Structure 1
Amino acid sequence: MRRLLLLMLVFHFSLTNAQLGDIHLILKDAETLAPIDDVTVTVLRTKQNHLSNAEGRVSFALTGVSSIQITHTQYETQTLRSTALKEKENVVLLKSVVNTLDEIIITKQHPQKILKTLIENSVAKLTTPCRLKVYSREFFKRNGNYVFYNDGLMNFQISGKNKDFKNSILVEQNRSIGLIDTDVPNDLLGYDLNNIMENYYNFKYLEPLLEARAKKDYDFVIKSYTKNDNYYLMVVNALDPVKGFKDDYSIIYDKKKKVIIEVSSSVTPNSVANAHEKTAVGARNMYKSNFKNSYRFNGEHEYYLLSSREEIGFERVDKKEIRTEIEVRNYFVTTNFSQNEFTFKESEVFKDKALFNLKDKILTDYWNVSGLIPTPEEETIIKSIADEP
């Protein structure tokens, strides 16, 4: 009897340890075996979100048995049990339906009016008050060389409603690596954390498409989205000849709930090619600009920003014959959402524009477990910046 009890305890201990610890996933396309980035992996028991990197990799610690949901707007959703993930690195193949053609949807209203309704309804449905635990990462490049990096783990407490969103930021941990010249203005370093969440919650980047003349500048098309029967895809492309800087947009939305799930844009090549070069000292000539925002909708009570990625590149005119190329790449990942508010002192609120101004606070290696693990290439970049004299 004692031996049987001992065997049962050993078996239970072994099973428990197999279900706990670090989980490593590699997400790949089932047909091409190419890695897939921007895949959302959610631990359903804790509601923790993780995003796959450029190599399709996701890593996280598991403290109990849970179902794990894997979602991407271009692939079929999968749900796995943690007990099935027994390998050191678990390869998960996702089935894509990219080859299926989307059909154009004929609507009574002009798509611009539909977009206006989508934005208004999405803003109204965004869950507030709420708390987002967010991991941010930023790379800064000058004249082709990476010279600065920072990341941080923050809590955003968002309140307000209907275009009147407010947020308070508490920084848990952060680090900055490298040096920035004193003549580089703060606004070149990506996120202005004081208003970035308010912009995302107001869908500010879509405002150019709501202007009256947008019907003359853009072609609006709504298509079925065969990758998900619940969604429609709105494609908005700048019409030739392109005047000024204009983006091409892709907006995925839930056709029944009328909320935006994903929005992305990229400056058109013709905008860059036909742009008039600015020569005045201090002017900026843009050659790259793109962003992608994803929103998560769980039932009727959880709708929030899940992730964002932005990249901008421009040439700054320093003097008549001196130009500086600057590129900034930012990531923003919501690792955890909660409708519980936290208490804080006003003196604890982060009010600066960017984390690079804040003194380093490192308690754990949070960058390895906070939603988006660095790729080996990114780790090499970070190390090279740190090794600079």
Structure 2
Amino acid sequence: MKYFIAFVFLFFSSHLYSQEVEKSIILKDADTNLAIEDATVLVLKTKQLNLSNAEGKVSFLLKGISNIQITHTSYVSQTIRSTILKEKETVIFLKSSFNKLDEIILTKQHPQKILASLIENSSKKLTVPARLKVYSREFFKRNGVYSNYNDGLMNFQLSGKPNDFSTTILVEQNRSFGLVEDYIMDELVGYNLNNIMQNYYNFKYLNPLLEPKAKKEYDFLVKAHPVNEDYYVMTAIPADISSAMLDDYTITYDRKRKIIIEVSSEISPTSFAKAKDKTGKNGKHIYKSFFKTMYRFDSNNYYLIGSKEEIGYEKIFKNKTTDIEVRNYFITTNFSNQNYSFKESEVFKDKTLFNKKNTILSNYWEISGMVATEEEEKIILSIDD
């Protein structure tokens, strides 16, 4: 009898741990109790990557017991055991790293030359060929009202070599809401899925800092990272003499491996105020611009883990001024250096998911690598209605 009981216990235990259970964690600053955005959460057993949203929330599926690795460039890293996640939602506190005095690094080379070397080396070190399982999400606002939304799960197959990367895209699932008007279509394809990954892998968004005139237009500075002694942080801030509309840049890099870990840029209010010409490319009157990419290096691979882009501008259509804002998010939920097989007819060749008919097989957006905040969920539901 006791052997039967033991067998039943083992059977149910095995069945329990083989089932997938949804869990959520809320990441907060241990000192301020504020939510922590853009923390990387890796479920080591399944290799699923997640990014915390603006509310500090991350949701994922657990199948059995696993270690969960939490990292952020501004916080001390933590590794927790999934067994501590007793509730469906658990708050985890991270200790801020900003408790050191800024240590300025004196360099023999001008930071611009260091940056050029970093870009070249990083492009060579990025793991290619590679397959990135990506969750993409895009919000489109017109004249102050959210009018369109799309998201989807895609596989990006990267091949080629530095400065000549190519991308093949297979869409697993997707959804798109909102009425797309003919005259607005060109603006909806502002983030072109067929070249966006090449831009990230070629670090195209750093090109303005490599131009000869950037030495005069920007004040460059290199500092030690406040928590990771292997990292340096380079900043490039528009000089006081500049009257152009320029971004503030921050580049975090691994000084030993000479690879870029994180890039962010934003046109500051000061730069907007000083700019004599606020009109960008294609006659767009830009009033907001933000960009961020994050890269991950593990023991064997180096690849993109996430990006955020946001732009706001005024555009004239048929003698009518239209205010447009676009927000785009990318998160690599899983990485592999194995190629996938596909038929040519399955390849996605359009520029945006707005053009693709909805294919919904599951509630993929709930466990997507980056869950929507409450505010974003309301926006999505309002557009869907």
TM-score range, shorter chain: over 0.9
* Correspondences of 1:127-146 after superposition (within 5 Å): 127-146=127-146
Inter-partner Cα distance in structure 2 for 1:35 and 1:90: 13
Name the SS for the 2:164 alignment partner: coil
Stretch of structure 1 that moved more, 370-379 or 311-320: 311-320
Matches within 5 A, 1:231-380: 231-276=231-276, 283-299=283-299, 301-318=300-317, 322-380=320-378
Larger displacement relative to structure 2 (184-193 or 5-14): 5-14
| Deviation string, structure 1 residues 106-158 (Cα, Å, up to 9, x no partner) | 01111111001100110000001010000000000011110000001000000
* Structure 1 residue 8: Cα displacement: 6.8
Name the SS of the counterpart of 1:184 in structure 2.
helix
**Take 2:40 and 2:286, find their aligned partners in 1: how far apart are those partners?**
31
Deviation larger for 304-313 or 177-186: 177-186
One-letter amino acid of the counterpart of residue 315, structure 2: R
Unaligned 5+ runs, structure 1: none
SS, match of residue 103 in structure 1 = coil
Equivalent AA in structure 2 for residue 325 of structure 1: D
**Pair 1:233–1:278, CA change in 2 (3 A):** closer
Shift in Å, 1:88: 2.2
CA distance in 2, matches of 1:9, 1:354: 52
Does the Cα contact within 8 Å between 1:288 and 1:313 map onto a contact in 2?
yes
Q: What is the alpha-carbon distance in structure 1 between the residues aligned to residue 242 and residue 135 of structure 2? A: 36
Which residue does 1:13 correspond to in 2? 12
Give the conservation status (yes or no) of the 8 Å contact 2:111–2:220. yes
Aligned to 2:37: 37
Q: CA deviation at 1:84?
A: 2.0
Is the CA contact (8 Å cut-off) linking 2:251 and 2:260 kept in structure 1? yes
For 1:317 and 1:274, the matched residues in 2 are separated by: 24
* Identical aligned residues as a percent: 59
**Whole-Å Cα distance in 2 between the matches of residues 39 and 276 of structure 1?**
37
- 1:138–1:190 Cα contact (<8 Å) kept: no
Alignment of 1:79 onto 2:88: no
SS in 2 for 1:22: strand
User: Are the structure 2 counterparts of residues 12 and 67 from structure 1 closer, same or farther at C-alpha, using a change threshold of 3 Å?
Assistant: farther
Return closer, same or farther for 1:82/1:15 CA change in 2, 3 Å cut-off: farther
Deviation at 1:290, TM superposition (A): 0.6
Distance in structure 2 (CA, Å) of the matches to 1:97 and 1:210:
30
Retained in 1: the 8 A contact 2:290–2:311? yes
| Distance in structure 2 (CA, Å) of the matches to 1:198 and 1:187 | 20
**Counterpart Cα distance in 2 of 1:212 and 1:355:** 38
Could you tell me whether the CA contact under 8 Å between 1:28 and 1:56 is conserved in 2? yes
Question: Which moves more between the two structures, 185-194 or 21-30?
Answer: 185-194
Deviation at 1:275, TM superposition (A): 3.7
The 2-side partners of 1:317 and 1:365 are apart by: 38
* Alpha-carbon contact 1:279-1:317 (below 8 Å) kept: no
Deviates more, 1:219-228 or 1:267-276: 267-276
Q: Distance in 1 between matches of 2:264 and 2:344?
A: 35
> Which ranges of structure 2 fall in alignment gaps of 5 or more residues?
none
TM-aligned CA deviation for residue 375 of structure 1: 1.1
- State how 1:160-171 maps to structure 2 within 5 Å: 160-171=160-171
State the distance in 2 between where 1:12 and 1:70 align.
32
Report the secondary structure of 1:160's partner residue.
Answer: strand
Amino acid at match of 1:156: F
1:141 maps to a residue whose letter is K
Any conservation in 1 of the 2:17–2:63 contact (CA below 8 Å)? no
Q: What is the alpha-carbon distance in structure 1 between the residues aligned to residue 271 and residue 35 of structure 2?
A: 31
SS of equivalent residue, structure 1 residue 311: strand
Tell me the secondary structure at the aligned position of residue 17 of structure 1.
helix
Give deviations 1:297-344, integer Å, cap 9, x for gaps. 012x20000000000000112355x42110000000000000110111
Deviation at 1:10, TM superposition (A): 3.3
Contact 1:23 1:62 in 2 (8 A): yes
Instruction: Give the corresponding residue for 1:381.
Output: 379
Worse overlay, 20-29 or 102-111: 20-29
How far is the alpha carbon of 1:65 from its aligned partner?
Answer: 1.7
Matches of 1:18 and 1:32, distance apart in 2: 36
Name 2:204's counterpart in structure 1: 204
Separation in 2, partners of 1:343, 1:337: 16
SS in 1 for 2:86: coil
Aligned counterparts of 2:39 and 2:14: Cα–Cα separation in 1: 28
CA distance in 2, matches of 1:355, 1:179: 13
Distance in 1 between the 2:343 and 2:81 partners?
Answer: 41
- Aligned pair in 2 of structure 1 residues 128, 5: CA closer, same or farther (>3 Å)? same
TM (normalized to structure 2)?
Answer: 0.95
- d(CA) in 2 for partners of 1:204 and 1:328? 19
* 1:229 alignment counterpart: 229
Structure 2 vs 1, CA of residues 242 and 317 (structure 1 numbering), >3 Å: closer, same or farther?
farther
Conserved 8 A contact 2:245-2:274 = no
Write out per-residue CA displacement over residues 7-61 of structure 1, whole angstroms, 9 at most, x where no aligned residue: 6743773586378511111111111111111111101122110111111111111
Counterpart-to-counterpart distance in 1, 2:235 and 2:255: 15
